[in-house]
Structure 1
Amino acid sequence: MQTYGEYLITQKTFRALLQAMSHPGRVYNIGDFISDSPIRPFTHSPLMLVLQTLLDHEVGFRVIGTGKEYLETTISELTRCPVKDISDADFIIVSDGESNGEILKAKRGSLEYPDTGATVIYVVEFLNDRDNGKPIALLKGPGIRNDIAPVIHGLGQNELFHIKENNSEFPLGIDCIFIDGANRIMCIPRSTRIEVR
Structure 2
Amino acid sequence: MLSAPLPSVEETRANQSFDALLNALSRPGQIRTLPTAGEGSIVDALLDRECRVFCADPTLLPQVLETGAMIAELPDADLVFFGPVQDAEALLSVAQGSDLYPDDGATVVVRAPLNVGSKLRLTGPGIEFHHDIKIAGLPTGFWHMRQELIRYPMGFDLFFVDGDQVLGIPRSTKVEEL
Distance 1:71 1:23 in 2: 27
Cα shift readout 1:127-182 (whole Å, capped 9, x = no counterpart): 13xxxx55432110001111112111222222222222221x1100000000002x
Q: Write the mapping of 1:156-195 to structure 2, written as runs, cut at 5 A.
A: 156-167=139-150, 169-181=151-163, 183-195=164-176
Distance 1:19 1:76 in 2: 23
Q: Which amino acid aligns with 2:171?
A: R
Distance 1:127 1:170 in 2: 25
Aligned-residue identity in percent: 30
Q: What TM-score, normalized to structure 1?
A: 0.80
Corresponding residue of 1:196 = 177
Considering only aligned residues, what root-mean-square deviation do their CA atoms show, in Å?
Answer: 1.7
Please state whether the residue corresponding to 2:60 is helix, strand or coil.
helix
Corresponding residue of 1:138 = 121
Higher helix share: 1
Contact 2:118–2:136, Cα closer than 8 Å, also in 1: no
Contact 1:135–1:149, Cα closer than 8 Å, also in 2: no
Q: How many residues align?
A: 172
Gaps of 5+ in 1: 35-44
2:54 to 39, 62, 65: 62
2:105 to 117, 137, 159: 117
Contact 1:98–1:159, Cα closer than 8 Å, also in 2: no
Cα shift readout 1:73-109 (whole Å, capped 9, x = no counterpart): x133222112111110011111113344112111111
Distance 2:90 2:71 in 1: 16
Contact 2:53–2:69, Cα closer than 8 Å, also in 1: yes
Distance 2:91 2:134 in 1: 21
Gaps of 5+ in 2: 1-6
Corresponding residue of 1:38 = none
Contact 1:62–1:89, Cα closer than 8 Å, also in 2: yes
Distance 1:83 1:99, change over 3 A: farther
Distance 1:146 1:94, change over 3 A: same
Corresponding residue of 1:147 = 130
Q: What TM-score, normalized to structure 2?
A: 0.88
Contact 2:47–2:64, Cα closer than 8 Å, also in 1: no
Distance 1:69 1:13, change over 3 A: closer
